Amino acid sequence: MSLSKTLSALLILAPAAVLTAALPPAHEAVALDHFVVSAVPFSRDPAELAQATHLLANTELAVRRQPTLGEILAGLPGVHSTYFGPGASRPLIRGFGGDRIRILENGSGTIDASSVSPDHAVGVEPFLIDRIEVVRGPASLLYGSSAVGGVVNLLTHRIETEVPVRPISGLLEARAETATDELAWGGIVNVASSLSSERALVLHLDGFRRQTSDVKIPGYAKSAERRAEETLAAQAVGDPVPDFARGVLPNSAIESTGGAAGISLVTKDGYVGFAFSGFDLLYGVPNEEDVQLDLRQRRLDVQGETTRAFGVFSGVRAKIGVGDYVHRELENAVIGTTFKNQGYDARAELLHAGLGQFSGAWGVQVSGNRVEAIGEESFLPSTKTTNRALFAFEEFKSGAFTPQFGARYETQQIDVRDGTGRTRDDQMLSASVGTVWNPTPGWVVGVSLTRTVRAPNVQELFADGPHLGTGAFELGDATLVRERSLGAELNVRRRIGFVTGEVSVFANQFRDYIHEVPTGAVAVDRGGYVVIAPAAVLPGEETLDVYQFVATNATFRGAEAELIMHLHDTAQHKLDLRLATDFTRAEDSAGQPLPRIPALRHTLGVAWQRGAWGAGAEWQATRAQHRVAANEASSAGYDLLNAHVMWRLERGAGAWEILVRGTNLTNAEARPHTSFLREIAPLAGRAVSVGVRRGF
């Protein structure tokens, strides 16, 4: 029996084991020493949430850390990546990506251009992220209509929120990796003055640098099918067979630097602070061997919170992030197209915890972005987008049930700044209802129903031109209407016992779901791009496929399961077996599959820890994807084997940590179906990385 079939059988049987296994009376709860802050206005244990969540921190984050956010999160239940080479990768959650996934930095928008195109990097370097929270499913009530698929919140603690226990703390870290010849190093230091048990003034400094070469890959960069097509095309016109790249993915090197400085006044009743950060990234775009993206972002964040009660309110928090982002597309080191985004994201929340039986929060959010695309090959007009919103979230405890309710009213205004006077105004009302049920100790059932409304973005409305990042000529549609969806989710969690974990099922029904489809036409540059039929292409002309944004009804549905068997569990010695699976089905109203939907995936892992030592291994089996959209090719399945060993030595107030990690140890050729570049850019081959961290 193949590994994939074996895992399928185990994962079919495992949920039944969770639902029928007896609870050993002497077995203590599996400890959770962290809380999620991105799903509801309060810090919550994941067991208290109606939505499925995942938190990466400490050892799990260290083991998964990669140069891009998408690759860090790929492998979590329901999460895949848009892999566009080692420089750019965003997460996909339950098949949703782009403007349907909200990426935050400490609760504020990242103010970059990553949602516009898969070749645009997220404007946050993962090297010094302290933890990552992933909320699967609609989170639009707190963070806007662009969060219909979920939220990823990156927490850096550049603004301190709690009184430190030591006057000086921080860490130093260095890493090296073989597949990319990566060298990365950085550090954090926090200095607290006027330190007492009730208050402190905290200075934060951090910085990092990362440098890699072109990534090593197993076999050819281009797939066998693509090589055959290009060979036949060359032979048809009498050209020599192309010299296909092998062993190395051309133009995939990256170089990044950055840092931050912040000051916070922290007391036992709250905090206020600010931080200024900078991030520079230069990376190659593998589908264009002479193109690099030079990214620069400067950002100012101001945040504050008080927990002192006043009137019916138990506290108030506010934050604003202001960003200046620019990236330049360099063609043979010459600037081709420049993309700018100057924006802000501000929100304030009033918290209450005693209004009758209810606790909750009322809030307001205002954000704006001024976007410019400059150059002959820019495909978007200059625009100014403003969003304003009012939202509320309430919950109350009723025996074993905790009902939760929420609503958000939002407006979006887009002004096109090209002299045409075009403008677009939309109003959106979203709402949700759910409950958390604790039928018996250790069991949690979450149910939620969410109605969301999303207005089309600038790209969907006004794109008109060549988009070299995706190798397409994109056409927007200014007549697109608002996208509406109704989502339902049921998840069952077990928190104590020999088997713990979570099983979730979900469904989203969309009306006027907006996505790109190929028109069958091509665009050629004849002193300006012209859209023509393929039969009208002249010999030697290079073409771009024409894609049009359209709206159609669509359905997304799927399931996720993650089960952990605690084979041995004592204070000093633990051995866990992990089984996981996830799948998503997405199709339009005619039953035709939507493009780039993740394939069925299974995971089998083991984790061991004894004293200062820890180790683990994980085998991930991704099945072939044959449910494909029109004019979309199928993708082959692949298996990935990863393993790690970690050693931790406590020294006074700090500790040494050494991590050795191996990825893709079988050197498999892996081409994720969710990647725009799967035909020309496989994942990295076999690699070994070594990381050393010193906390103090």
- Kind and range of the H or E run holding 487: strand 483-494
**pTM (predicted TM-score):** 0.90
Which amino acid appears at position 395 of this protein? E
Contacts by 582-587 with C-beta closer than 8 Å and gap 24+? 582/77, 582/78, 582/558, 583/558, 583/559, 584/78, 584/94, 584/95, 584/556, 584/557, 584/558, 585/555, 585/556, 585/557, 585/558, 585/627, 586/95, 586/554, 586/555, 586/556, 586/557, 587/554, 587/555
Query: Which of 357, 370, 366 shows the shortest CA–CA distance to 416?
Result: 370
Half-sphere exposure of 199 (CA within 13 A, CB side): 8
The pLDDT of residue 673 = 96
Q: For residue 207, give both structure tokens.
A: 């910085």
Report the phi/psi class of residue 159: left, alpha or beta, with left for phi > 0 and alpha for psi in -120 to 50: beta
Per-residue pLDDT reduced to its tens digit, 144-201:
878 889 999 999 889 999 999 889 999 999 999 999 999 999 999 999 998 788 899 9
How many CB atoms lie under 10 A from the CB of residue 194? Answer: 10
Per-residue pLDDT reduced to its tens digit, 94-146:
999 989 999 999 999 999 989 888 889 999 988 889 999 998 877 667 888 78
How many CB atoms lie under 10 A from the CB of residue 536? Answer: 11
Give the full edge-to-edge strand order of the sheet including 108-109.
52-57, 131-136, 150-155, 101-105, 108-109
DSSP annotation of 381 reads -
The pLDDT of residue 693 = 94
Domain definitions of the chain by residue range: 3-214+249-695
Task: Give CA–CA dist 366/346, Å, rounded.
Answer: 5
DSSP assignment of 255-295 equals EEEEEEEEEEEEETTEEEEEEEEEEEEEEE-TTSTTEEEEE
558-to-13, 520, 583, 584 alpha-carbon distances in Å: 18, 31, 5, 4
Task: Give CA–CA dist 595/588, Å, rounded.
Answer: 10
Contacts by 1-7 with C-beta closer than 8 Å and gap 24+? 3/604, 3/619, 3/621, 3/639, 4/602, 4/621, 4/623, 4/637, 4/639, 7/579, 7/581, 7/602, 7/603, 7/604, 7/621
Could you tell me if 81 and 122 are in contact, meaning their C-beta atoms sit under 8 angstroms apart? no
Helices (H), 499-573: none
Could you tell me if 7 and 580 are in contact, meaning their C-beta atoms sit under 8 angstroms apart? no
Residue ranges with strand state E in 42-123: 52-57, 79-81, 91-93, 101-105, 108-109
Task: Give CA–CA dist 314/353, Å, rounded.
Answer: 6
Task: Give CA–CA dist 529/31, Å, rounded.
Answer: 60
DSSP annotation of 358 reads E
Per-residue burial over 262-292, b if 16 or more Cβ lie within 10 Å, else e, is: bebebbeebbbbbbebebbbbbbbbbbeebb
DSSP annotation of 117 reads -
The pLDDT of residue 469 = 67
27-to-128, 494, 566 alpha-carbon distances in Å: 36, 13, 10
Q: Phi and psi of 110, rounded to 5°?
A: -75, -15
Could you tell me if 635 and 627 are in contact, meaning their C-beta atoms sit under 8 angstroms apart? no
Q: For residue 687, give both structure tokens.
A: 């690699």
252-to-66, 72, 453, 669, 677 alpha-carbon distances in Å: 15, 18, 38, 17, 12
Task: Give CA–CA dist 560/491, Å, rounded.
Answer: 9
- Strand 483-494, strand 573-588: pairing: unpaired
Calculate the dihedral angle through the C-alpha atoms of 247, 252, 253, 255, rounding to the nearest 10 degrees: -160
Calculate the dihedral angle through the C-alpha atoms of 8, 10, 12, 13, rounding to the nearest 10 degrees: 170
- Beta-ladder partners of 329: 293, 337
Ranges of residues in the chain whose predicted pLDDT is under 50:
1-33
The pLDDT of residue 140 = 67
Could you say which of 3.40.800.20, 3.90.1300.10, 2.40.170.20, 3.40.47.10 is the CATH number of the domain covering 3-214+249-695?
A: 2.40.170.20
The pLDDT of residue 16 = 35
Q: For residue 130, give both structure tokens.
A: 């302290």
Question: For the chain, how many residues are written?
Answer: 696
Could you tell me if 307 and 267 are in contact, meaning their C-beta atoms sit under 8 angstroms apart? no
The pLDDT of residue 52 = 85
